[in-house]
Structure 1
Amino acid sequence: MLENKTLPLENTTDCLSTMASVCKVMLETPEYSSRFSSEDTLLFCMRVMVGVIILYDHVHPNGAFNKSSKIDMKGCIKVLKDQPADNVEGLLNALKFTTKHLNDESTPKNIRTMLQ
């Protein structure tokens, strides 16, 4: 008989923050992003990064925007803002409108400002 064992929450949030970090580094490092033969791969990378940030924000008790978050939100937002606006408008809106903790008091002002 199979037992339903759940992973500790920290394993999940560590995995999500690592995925966000890997995507961010792939996007912001010309040496890596230049290896992508298709713009679709860059777009996919951005979507994955935003998706895991949203998941992290919903799963972690303090969210993705908190100072104690393991996700470099400032870096992730900057990477998105450095892309052509028509590629990232929807992704930035997803961060603005589908996250749970963006408007928390614990969210640093500079992060909120970056997303306005």
Structure 2
Amino acid sequence: MTNPAIQNDFSYYRRTLSCNRLNNPQLEAESEVNTEMANRMSLFYAEATPMLKTLSNATTKFVSENKTLPIEDTTDCLSTMACVCRVMLETPEYRSRFTNTETLLFCMRVMVGVIILYDHVHPVGAFAKTSKIDMKGCIKVLKEQPSNSTEGLLNALRYTTRHLHDDTTSKQIRALLQ
């Protein structure tokens, strides 16, 4: 999401490789990436957040294939992880333990990632009032951080969630993400 040039660069690589294969047919066997793998990589990078999309699809598939496991088990785990990350970021006594900015950024990324997964897996999503995730608190924690490290994360919440624009989402949460 923060580096859209990857798709363009990869397209350029594929065009160059295709031209080289026309000039030298034996190149297919010698190339680092065969045509099928290049096609799959291109579809992967076509997503705004390819890894998150893959995780979301895998989690949704897991929930749908394991009907004997209650969906609440999965969503409770995700909401707990989001809550733990939020508390680690907003509580001074916990936050003082993390002096490395990379650790704080990791906590923010995990929090946003599990919110998006929760939103994709839970029937009403993460933004509903009945959600077990404190969305106002999570968004406020993100907004309190330096904007250069959180703008991409806020954009991920804005553009990769399923239920942000549902009628069940409060206007306050929508306003926080504007």
Query: Under TM normalisation by the shorter chain, which class is it?
Result: over 0.9
Of structures 1 and 2, the larger Rg is shown by 2
Q: Which of the residues 102, 109, 112 maps onto 2:171? A: 109
> Which position in structure 2 is the counterpart of 1:91?
153
SS in 1 for 2:169: coil
C-alpha offsets along residues 37-57 of structure 1, whole Å, 9 cap, x if unaligned? Answer: 310000000000000000000
* C-alpha separation in 2, matches of 1:52 and 1:96: 14
For 1:52, the aligned partner's letter is V
- Unmatched tracts of structure 1, length 5 or more: none
* C-alpha separation in 1, matches of 2:140 and 2:121: 23
* C-alpha separation in 2, matches of 1:9 and 1:35: 34
> Which position in structure 1 is the counterpart of 2:131?
69
Please provide the CA RMSD for this pair.
1.1
Q: Which of the residues 37, 40, 46 maps onto 2:99? A: 37
C-alpha offsets along residues 26-71 of structure 1, whole Å, 9 cap, x if unaligned? Answer: 0001111111131000000000000000000000000000000000
* C-alpha separation in 2, matches of 1:16 and 1:40: 22
For 1:66, the aligned partner's letter is A
Indicate the structure whose relative CO is greater, using CA pairs within 8 Å and at least 6 residues apart: 1
C-alpha offsets along residues 81-111 of structure 1, whole Å, 9 cap, x if unaligned? Answer: 0000001000000000000000001100000
| Runs of 4 or more above 3 Å deviation | none
Does residue 93 of structure 2 align to residue 49 of structure 1?
Answer: no
* C-alpha separation in 1, matches of 2:144 and 2:95: 13
For 1:114, the aligned partner's letter is L
- Unmatched tracts of structure 2, length 5 or more: 1-64
- Taking structure 2 as the reference length, the TM-score comes to 0.62
- Taking structure 1 as the reference length, the TM-score comes to 0.94
* C-alpha separation in 2, matches of 1:37 and 1:31: 12
Answer with 57-66 or 5-14: which moved more: 5-14
> Which position in structure 2 is the counterpart of 1:24?
86
